[in-house]
Chain A
Amino acid sequence: MLKLEGCVIRNGAFRLEADMEVARGRRVAVIGPSGGGKTTLLEAIAGFVDLEAGRLSWDGADMGGLAPGARPVAMLFQEGNLFPHLTAAQNVGLGLRASLRLRMDERGAVRAALARVGLEGFEARKPGDMSGGQRARVALARVLVQRRALLLLDEPFAALGPALKAEMLDMVMDLAGETGATVLMVSHAPEDARRIADEVVLVAGGRAHPPVETQALFDDPPEALRDYLG
């Protein structure tokens, strides 16, 4: 279970309070106005922004002091999820070993992950020679081999067209289902939240509100959400 207790996150002059729990295996959409702190919330969980106060824990273990790479967290960013000078296999392999010195079985795992996302035989390709959708798949293959308990998505598919984006979101949810990962996904689009999320976290007015069941939330939106949806 992901727990944020009395957390205060400061990013420059911006301040965000968060107090919430997310149960293991849930799929959570993080929505709210732009500049409201959605990315900041994810960055704090991933360890890129320090907590000013409060406790951040996974399954009871405090992870506030851990380096980003030591947390049970995999993250996909808005852009730059692949290193353009490395091959698809190397980009995926980084999820297993940062040194890129992979054992035989690990190489097999990389190939299998690429095959799982439909990129069989793409091992030696570099990102520059792939389409936007294929690049997104490589990043997903890496998430798959990382096997982290928590997957954070900061709108990694925003640049893709609607159909491709929907396909990618479905694939993320399938993969998360296979690994049992808990997913937090930033989204601008309420229909994305409806499509895949069990719960919704609303980030607005300097607060990350505790998650609410998606259906219940959209059926009877609180004022802050009504303001956002318009």
Chain B
Amino acid sequence: MAARAQPVSPWPGLGAAAIVAALILGTLLAVAWRADAAVRFGGADWAALRFTLLQAVLSSVLSVALAVPVARALARRRFAGRHVLIALLGAPFILPVIVAILGLLTVFGRAGWISAALGAIDLPPLSIYGLHGVVLAHVFFNLPLATRLLLQGWQDVPGERFRMAATLGVDGWAMWRLIEVPMLLRVVPGALAVVFALSLTSFAVALTLGGGPRATTIELAIYQAFRFDFDLGRAAMLSGVQLLLTGIAAWCALKAGQGDGFGAGLDRAVRRWDGTGAGARVLDVLWVGLAALFLLLPLSAIVLAGLGSLGGLPGVVWQAVLVSLGVSVASTALVLLLAVPMAATVALGRGRAVEMAGILGLAASPLVIGTGLFIMVYRVADPAVLALPVTALVNALMALPFALRILVPQAREVVARYGRLGLSLDMAGGPFLRHVLLPRMRAQIGFAAGLAAALSMGDLGVIALFADPDTATLPLQVYRLMGAYRMDDAAGAALLLLILSMGAFWALDRGGRWNAEA
């Protein structure tokens, strides 16, 4: 009997998945093979491991704990600007890390706004470097994500339950115990695991705000072993440790988490009748206001600090802009070439292995993959020449899991809804792809492309490993300007980077939805 007919071929997706798996597993093998058994996991390494875990635990606990009152307030209040604020909570995901760090420095740094205010009343300035700086930056990035994940939990509580509670006169503490605590017990572990996993692999934060014997993460230690000591065996050994950590964390996050915080309809306001007391109102306003301030202040700081120097930026910055645009375009194209066929194959119901390949990227950190790629190529080619292609490739691999999360549900929907019609019209293959699948997925493809472009544009990771002093992407150039204490130029370049990342996301996402039918 012939295999059941399919509207599109599963083979391109299987091929793409095989390439992804081979690349990631290949680099991991290279790391394992090169890891020097003679290198001992010494005192400094234990310190790095302890610091990595400590900052990740603190970051996730703080992010989620603060997200609870914020999400609770957003869930039960309706106010003007609510949906703008909720959309804004999605922004840190595509915000270039180096931009946010510069913004945080402008507000919380030694010469920042708060230190200046403290100085005015004769108090010592803040120091943002070290553990608390790293945690502050991670909370800045992950508080919004945790809020969205928890808000999802609140949205998933059936509206009838709130109506039922309202008829029973349930309010305040009773509502909290009866409905909200059980819901949080379900949602919080997933949110903790996601933030923990993200904090483990975050590199740019540790690079700029950490460092030194007391604030070095494993990810940063890999970079230092590589860059300063050029000790490949040691870099590979540390990569192995990091791989173990991230693998376990990613596994836990996948097990514990249901939502991904991308969900549409988060701005839908469920009608609520509780929390009408003055105390509850004041508390909610306070939490939402503080969270908004915490997110908006650093961003406004960058805009204010950058505007002045935007006109007189040095030539190297514009050169870096061109480089970043090129890397971003290549990375985005790569993501789509891999993700669209993979999503189609998953939609056909043939995709267990494809889905596995898709999430492999979550288990490996960019620097681990970068180290592996370096080990694979450095004997045959000059790594500095390959810096940009490798950056585009690693960016694409890192964006792939998110792109698949966006594309797969819609691909499933299109195949389920129009697959049989397409088959009965003899459209299998090219015609179905051209006339049905791609047009029907346009909005999701645009969203995924925007995400991939912005992530690649803002990435400061593997490029730091490979680049020679003459090449830089825009984020790396910002970092170099900061290192040279040219803070005005750094702020201007960071503002430019912010505009480019957000602009790329906006243009691609908008382009996908432009003139699209429901």
Contacts and interface: CB of A to CB of B under 8 A. Distances in A.
Q: Please classify the interface of chain A as helix (H, G, I), strand (E, B), loop, or mixed, using the class held by over half of its residues.
A: loop
A84 B517 contact: yes
Interface residues of B, number: 24
Contact of A81 (B421, B440, B516): B421
A69 B423 contact: yes
Given A50-B1, A84-B517, A69 B420 contact: no
Interface stretch (A71-79, A106-114, A160-168): A71-79
A98 B440 contact: no
Given A46-B424, A69-B425, A77-B420, A100 B1 contact: no
Interface of B: 1-2, 4-5, 417-418, 420-421, 423-428, 430-432, 435-436, 439-440, 516-518
Interface in A119-163: 126, 128, 142, 146
Contact of A99 (B423, B431, B436, B516): B431
Nearest to B4: A50
A69 B516 contact: no
Given A80-B418, A84-B517, A47 B431 contact: no
Given A67-B5, A69-B428, A98-B425, A85 B439 contact: yes
A47 B1 contact: no
A95 B517 CA distance: 22
Nearest to B6: A67
Contacts of A52: 1
B516 A85 contact: yes
B424 A75 contact: yes
A68 B419 CA distance: 11
Given A48-B420, A68-B420, A99-B431, A85 B425 contact: no
Interface residues of A, number: 34
B427 A69 contact: yes
A94 B427 contact: yes
Give the one of A47, A64, A142 with max B CB within 10 A. Answer: A47
A115 to B, nearest CB: 21
A70 B426 CA distance: 7
A103 B516 CA distance: 27
Given A100-B431, A128-B517, A69 B424 contact: yes
A39 to B, nearest CB: 11
Contacts of B426: 67-70, 98
B435 A68 contact: no
Contact of A94 (B2, B417, B425, B440): B425
Nearest to A66: B2
Given A50-B1, A50-B4, A80-B417, A68 B431 contact: no
A68 B424 contact: yes
Contacts of A51: 1
